[in-house]
Amino acid sequence: MLFLLRPPQTRMPFVRPRDPVQQETWNEQLQAAYDATRRVPSGPSPERVPTSRDTISDLKRLAELHSSGALTAAEFAAAKARVLAPGPGA
């Protein structure tokens, strides 16, 4: 027969409860540590969200450059395709 002898427990097997203020502080620290590990931003930033007004103004600027002769037809078509292409999040 095998007997496992175990020393008497000298400590409590669970953590003693904290007072509410300490617990709230601990919860906030854990939440901050978790938020620091996130890889995906919580929401789109305003500078990354294109608006239709920006697209229209870009197209107008490209049309002016093309009409002035600064852009060839091929360059104009390529630039227009870049402006009208959907973004990575769309």
Q: Report DSSP state, residue 50.
A: -
**Is 36 domain-assigned?**
no
- Residue 15 is assigned to a structural domain of this protein: no
Written as six digits, the tokens of 57 are 């103004």
Q: Is residue 63 part of a domain?
A: yes
In a domain, 65, yes or no: yes
**pLDDT tens readout for residues 69-82:** 888 999 999 999 98
Residue 77 counted as domain residue: yes
Could you list the residue range(s) of the whole structural domain that residue 64 is in? Answer: 52-84
Q: What is the pLDDT of residues 17-38, one digit of tens each?
A: 778 888 889 889 989 988 888 7
Q: Which two tokens stand for residue 13?
A: 């097997």
* Residue 34 in domain: no
Count structural domains, the chain. 1
Q: Can you read off the two tokens belonging to residue 4? A: 């496992």
Evaluate whether residue 20 is within a structural domain. Answer: no
Between CA 71 and CA 79 the distance in angstroms is 9
pLDDT of residue 19: 84
